[in-house]
Structure 1
Amino acid sequence: MGPTRTLRLGLLGCLLLVPWLRGQELATCAWGWVPSEEGCYGFFPRELSWRRAEAFCQRFGAGTHLASVHSAEEHQAIATLLSSRSGNDSEEEEARDDGIWIGLHRPLGSRRWQWSDSSEVDYGSWHRQPSSRRRACVALQDSADFMTWYSDACADRKPFICKSAA
């Protein structure tokens, strides 16, 4: 394990400890999922279209969807999780080149962005505000350490991150 990976895992541990130190409980999550104040996150390197990724997430039960992001702190926690999952594995590095699906999308015929879990769109981190009507699903941009968003064609296949309700 290299020093960068150790540092990333240490940072993830700190993010998970902060709520505990504040006296807040983290969600109880399924094996392999990461708990946070907002719920549980599961990363899946399997590349699916946005719609198939959303359907995959929903198989984990009511309240589980592609991840919605509602604050800079939650965004940072997700980015840290994704960075810690991206080691020296060439398959994962290849997957990083395409971004990671999250739950933000613009339904066909709509001008408004919506989260797949129907929560309010109250935070954004766009690389560039999208203009194309065709690119109606959103991914975290890997080249920006997952800290910016971009829209892409929903049919494109990407790895994805699910979020279950707390």
Structure 2
Amino acid sequence: MGATRTLRLGLLGCLLLLPGLRGQEPAACARGWAALERGCYGVFRRELSWRRAEAFCQRFGAGTHLASVHSAEELRAIAGLLAARPGEDSEEEEEEEDDWDDGIWIGLHRPLGSRRWQWSDSSEVDYGYWHRQPERRRRACAALRDSADFMTWYSEACAERKPFVCKSSA
């Protein structure tokens, strides 16, 4: 196990313990999902359009959508989950890592006919970290940029197929 991977796994462990350190119990999450302060997060390699990814997330129950991000801390935690993806040392997984190069869907979108961005879970858009000002498109969706260690967002056509992050608040 390389030093980088060990560091990432240690960081991930700290992030998972953060709610407990603040006097909160981490949420009981489904198998394979990670408990962070704002809920449970599942990362999916399957490449889907934004709309299909949102529908996929909703199948996990009420309160589950593509991930909304409300703070720099939450963005860092999600980026940590993506950076600590399992199997990154194996050759078989290296081919799949190329999938991340096209970004990762999150729940932010600008619906057709709207000038405003909104989260798929209807929560308030109170935080943003755009790589550059989003392009003007009739309908657009936001993704995390792999080239920026998933710490910035960019606007993309919603029909593009990408891996995605689901978030459950339940």
TM-score, normalised relative to structure 2 = 0.94
Which runs of 5 or more structure 1 residues have no equivalent in the other structure? Answer: none
Cα deviation, 1:56-93, whole Å, max 9, x if unaligned, reads 00000000000000000000000000000162422332
Residue of structure 2 in register with 1:98 after alignment: 102
User: Which secondary structure does the structure 2 equivalent of 1:85 belong to?
Assistant: coil
Q: Percent identity?
A: 80
More deviation in 80-89 or 147-156?
80-89
Residue of structure 2 in register with 1:137 after alignment: 141
Which runs of 5 or more structure 2 residues have no equivalent in the other structure? Answer: none
* Separation in structure 1 between the aligned mates of residue 3 and residue 39 of structure 2, nearest angstrom: 29
Aligned pair count? 166
Residue of structure 1 in register with 2:54 after alignment: 54
> RMSD value over aligned CA atoms?
1.2
User: Which secondary structure does the structure 1 equivalent of 2:35 belong to?
Assistant: strand
User: Which secondary structure does the structure 1 equivalent of 2:16 belong to?
Assistant: helix
* Separation in structure 2 between the aligned mates of residue 104 and residue 53 of structure 1, nearest angstrom: 12
2:169 counterpart of 1:158: no
Residue of structure 2 in register with 1:111 after alignment: 115
Contact in 1 for aligned 2:113/2:138 (Cα 8 Å): no
* Separation in structure 2 between the aligned mates of residue 8 and residue 121 of structure 1, nearest angstrom: 29
User: Which secondary structure does the structure 2 equivalent of 1:111 belong to?
Assistant: coil
Residue of structure 1 in register with 2:11 after alignment: 11
- CA positional deviation for 1:19: 2.0
Contact in 2 for aligned 1:134/1:153 (Cα 8 Å): no
- CA positional deviation for 1:18: 2.2
Contact in 1 for aligned 2:135/2:155 (Cα 8 Å): no
Cα deviation, 1:84-107, whole Å, max 9, x if unaligned, reads 016242233211110000000000
Contact in 1 for aligned 2:18/2:37 (Cα 8 Å): no
Residue of structure 1 in register with 2:37 after alignment: 37
- CA positional deviation for 1:41: 0.1
* Separation in structure 2 between the aligned mates of residue 58 and residue 114 of structure 1, nearest angstrom: 17
Query: Segments of 4+ in structure 1 off by > 3 A?
Result: none
- CA positional deviation for 1:135: 5.7
